[in-house]
Amino acid sequence: MLSNVRYMELLIFLILFPLLIAGLITLIHGENFRRGAVICGAVLVGIASLFALMGSVTSHPIFYSVPVGIIGILIFIGDIAISGYIIFVSTKARQYLVTAITIIQLILLCAVEYLALSDHATIPELFLDQLSGIMAAIIGIIGGLICVYALGYMREYHTEHPERPDKRPQFFGIMFLFLSAMFGVVFSNNLLWLFFFWEITTLCSYLLIRYPETDEAIKNAFRALLFNLVGGACIPIAFIVIFLSHGSDLIGLHELVVAGPGIALIPAGLIGIAGLAKSAQFPFSSWLVGAMVAPTPVSALLHSSTMVKAGVYIIARFAPVFEGQLIGILIALIGGVTFLAASAIAISQSNAKKVLAYSTIANLGLIVACCGVGTAEALWAAILLIIFHAIAKSLLFLSVGTVEHQIHSRDIEDMTGLVTKMPRITMIILIGIAGMFLAPFGMLISKWASLHAFVESVPPFGILLVIIIAYGSGITAFFWAKWMGKLIAVGEPQQKDESHIPKSEKNILYILSALTIGVCFGFPIISWYLIEPWLQNIYQSVTELISLSNIEIMFMMLFLVLIMPFSLARFSRSASRVPRYLCGIPESRSTEFIGSCGITREIELSNYYLDKIFGEERLSRISVGIGIFLIVLILNIIIVGGGL
């Protein structure tokens, strides 16, 4: 075990080292150098983040004050620089709404800084506890893997789209800058720092979404920026509230949470709104769907496994404040509505990336619902969801990216019978999908836990959430299962051909699928050593959250699933092949039959999308409406509460 000081050096290393890599990659061009730097950087960041995870396995959080006073000023200057840059690009692109919001934010920030100068606080800037450790490991390991994957992917991307400008040095630079900022978010105790890193992630997301430089990409990038800024603007307001009412001692995350709901509720609610925007909850969700124009590694890293998780991370931090409060319930309801609506919309989508995007929004909704409820059990489920979702979803995004480069389509219908063409990749996608909704994989364990958690909490609202999950889980099963079905439905076996896939991509996919299965086995360990001690710290008394017999059952099921593939070989031998039944019409070839008048016809089968019922436009209109209503309700409560 390292000493505390060493750990703090580790944190600073994690924040600064990706920055160094980012600088190197941007400045020194050349494919080989970039390759080396990205791989080295990813490995080192991964290892360091694992150390951070191990370091967090102590019973108490470790706090650390950075001894350099000047950093506060530097961060303020950084904030101004970011705002300045956004004002510059948005006026150039005539996105005046973005400009206006940035200016408002800047003014608020100056006010905060003015207050902070007169009332200088002495709180630890950085800290490390179990939740930070878990988040850091997700960022470090999955982020690293995705960066390495992106090496091969981006090369193919530019051969496929020669018309788009090749700015790979900047691309990888921004990716590493983003990693650095994410570490900053999860390690910051000082909320001013946290806000600074938060804004960097928003900026990175904007830059990466507009990477293709098509009109659509630019438009969607600004939409993402706009929604995140609207949310982000709530944070400085929260600061002002803190400074004016309680002074600068509460500007630390830990201090604020410990202060209890009486004091912290209003700032927490405001910051919670920023979290909702960041994690793409209704009514903000449309930016995440638009963000899918970005190259797939970006979608995997920013828009499913890490950046959007910053939103739920911050809500999870304030969960103890929200527990049993009306604001918490409203936030939970927003999460619940988002879970239900986004899952339903996913049914009507045939674009694989959009399905993934909506399912991401839905799962974030579930996490938000857990955090909003804020009981120990709900939070336990939320953190497990964060872990499982990050791994399985990035696996799915990356494998869809790989498939897309091979079949030149991201449409699920075009993936019919993929199992014969790319058996390994299909297997990986199947693992990923199973990880998203089937017992005994992780997401389902968490869903189970959240049902347990909701049923007892804040009656009758808990039951409302339970009902939402009940409907949502049926819907989720529908759209995932039909995708699975498409992959394995074999019309005519195609030539097996996986040789064009870059080695690095394949290896990353293997590692991620191993992780998906691995965390299912390891989740009791994660729970005992990380999540439960963390909850113990926050809630003092924690009952045993998952009883031993249930773990046994889960293992039994996992075991069943794992041995099944071995019996596959036995069955495929024992049956003799007979063509499919077409009312007696013979097949001339495997997927063709002779129709009336002797015309040869192809069998075409496509999935149900039920868009009369689950149409995207209709459902999003309704749920954005509900979302706005709930957000306004929260704001009203905050204003009224602040006035009292």
Partner 1 sequence: MNPFLAAAVFIILAPVVGILITGLDRILTARMQGRVGPPVLQPWYDIRKLIQKKQVAVWGAQSFFIFCYLIFIIFTGALFFAGGDILLVIFAFTLAHVFLVLGAYVSFSPYAHIGAERELIQLMAVEPMIIIAAIGLYQVNDSFLIGEMADHPGMPILLLPGVFLGFIYILTFKLRKSPFDLATSHHAHQELVKGSTTEFSGRTLAMVELAHIYELVVMLGFIWLFFGANLILCALAIVVIMFLEILVDNCTSRVRWQDAMISAWFVTLVAGAGNIFALSIM
Partner 2 sequence: MSYLQKSPWIIHYDASSCNGCDIEVLACLTPLYDVERFGILNTGNPKHADIFVITGGVNEINKEVVKNIYDQMPHPKVVVAVGICACSGGVFKECYNISGGVATVIPVDIYVPGCAARPESIIDGIVQALSILEQKRNSMKTGVEGTA
Task: Give the footprint of partner 2 on this chain (CB under 8 A).
Answer: 578-579, 581, 583-586
Q: What are phi and psi of 126, to 5 degrees?
A: -115, 160
Shortest distance (Å) from residue 591 CB to partner 2: 16
Tell me how far apart the alpha carbons of residues 140 and 306 are, in angstroms, rounded to a whole number: 10
Separation in Å, CA 470 to CA 345, 346, 449, 475:
16, 17, 13, 9
Angle at CA 46, nearest 5°, toward 353 and 255? 90
Q: In sequence order, what DSSP letters do the residues of 198-239 get, joined into one string?
A: HHHHHHHHHHHHTTT--HHHHHHHHHHHHHHHHHHTHHHHHH
Nearer to partner 1, 110 or 439 (CB): 439
Shortest distance (Å) from residue 584 CB to partner 2: 4
Nearer to partner 2, 91 or 588 (CB): 588
- Does 104 bind partner 1 (CB under 8 A)? Our answer is no
Nearer to partner 1, 96 or 608 (CB): 608
For partner 1, the binding residue among 159, 540, 543, 576 (CB under 8 A) is 576
The listed partner (partner 2, partner 1, none) that binds 438, CB under 5 to 8 Å by sort, is partner 1
User: Residue 305 has what DSSP assignment?
Assistant: I
Binding window for partner 1 (CB under 8 A); candidates: 93-101, 136-144, 226-234, 472-480: 472-480
Hey, which residues between 484 and 503 contact partner 1 (CB under 8 A)? 484-486, 488-491
User: Residue 440 has what DSSP assignment?
Assistant: T
The listed partner (partner 1, partner 2, none) that binds 482, CB under 5 to 8 Å by sort, is partner 1
Shortest distance (Å) from residue 587 CB to partner 2: 9
Tell me how far apart the alpha carbons of residues 575 and 408 are, in angstroms, rounded to a whole number: 35
Q: Which of 14, 16, 638 is nearest to 328 (CA)?
A: 638
Quickly list H helices, 161-190: 168-187
Separation in Å, CA 294 to CA 120, 268, 391:
42, 32, 20
Q: In sequence order, what DSSP letters do the residues of 585-623 get, joined into one string?
A: PPEEETTEEE-GGG-EEE--------HHHH-HHHHHHHH
For partner 1, the binding residue among 605, 628, 632, 639 (CB under 8 A) is 605
The listed partner (partner 1, partner 2, none) that binds 444, CB under 5 to 8 Å by sort, is partner 1
- Does 462 bind partner 1 (CB under 8 A)? Our answer is yes
Shortest distance (Å) from residue 580 CB to partner 2: 9
User: Residue 551 has what DSSP assignment?
Assistant: H
Shortest distance (Å) from residue 598 CB to partner 2: 10
Which element (helix H / strand E) includes 243? Answer: helix 234-246
- Does 549 bind partner 1 (CB under 8 A)? Our answer is yes
The listed partner (partner 1, partner 2, none) that binds 549, CB under 5 to 8 Å by sort, is partner 1
Helix axes 376-407, 130-137, angle to 10 degrees: 10
For residue 568, which amino acid is it?
L
- Does 326 bind partner 1 (CB under 8 A)? Our answer is no
Nearer to partner 1, 87 or 484 (CB): 484
For partner 1, the binding residue among 73, 477, 632, 639 (CB under 8 A) is 477
Nearer to partner 2, 67 or 584 (CB): 584
Sheet holding 592-594: strands in order across?
587-589, 592-594, 600-602
Binding site for partner 1 (CB under 8 A): 416-417, 438-439, 444, 448, 451-452, 455, 459-460, 462-464, 466-467, 469-471, 473-475, 477-478, 481-482, 484-486, 488-491, 549-550, 553-554, 556-557, 560, 564, 567-568, 571-583, 591, 603, 605, 607-608, 612-613
